[in-house]
Amino acid sequence: MTFDKLRCALYNCCKLNKRTDEDFLRSALALARNAEKRGEVPVGALLVLDGRVIALGRNRRERNHDATAHAEVEAIRAGCQKVRGWRLENCTLYVTLEPCPMCAGAIVNSRVKRVVFGAYDPKAGAVSSVLNLFDLPLNHKPEVTGGVLAEECGKMLTEFFRKKRKK
Ligand SMILES: [Zn+2]
């Protein structure tokens, strides 16, 4: 650790130690990889509040026999338990793939402040690609940043499906 970083950590000024969107998305990628090892479509998500990770999620549809067990829903459920409430007003959700309509709905319902996603999903993406649910006149409008580490996030999915087709 450099002295500047140490000083920042000690004074908690967070200028140098602050994790970036890319850092958090890299952690979400690790969760996606973990899902893949269990035979799931590799998607990972996490919730961040005040620069700290408060909840994790990974796709668990196969394991749970649950069509709704998307990474985002898992992270939102865990996050609500963590804050002991259903509002995630100051949270940012990081996810490796653009949210589908169900997850975009869950994001609106939980009042997540900001969404950062990796790869665009031309088949089911509901915050940019197929439609933009957040553009509708709903009671909550999250901020969105898309395409962060898009190549890495997309590659993980295309490799997964390519391997699957070979089997
Ligand atoms: Zn989803």
How far, in Å, from the CA of 20 to the mean position of ligand 1?
A: 24
Average pLDDT, the chain: 93
**Chain centroid to CA 47:** 7
Strand blocks (E) in 42-90: 44-49, 52-58
> What is the mean predicted confidence (pLDDT) over 29-54?
95
Ligand 1 centre to CA of 145 (Å) is 17
Set 36, 72, 74, 98: catalytic member: 72
**89 catalytic per annotation:** no
Q: How far is the CA of 128 from the centre of ligand 1 (A)?
A: 14
Answering whether pTM is above 0.75, one says yes
Q: Which is nearest to 147 in space by CA: 166, 126, 123, 128?
A: 128
Per-residue model confidence (pLDDT) at position 60: 97
105 C-alpha to ligand 1 centroid (Å):
9
Residue 164 host element (H or E): helix 150-166
User: 3-7, 40-44, 79-83, 122-126: which range is least confident on average?
Assistant: 3-7
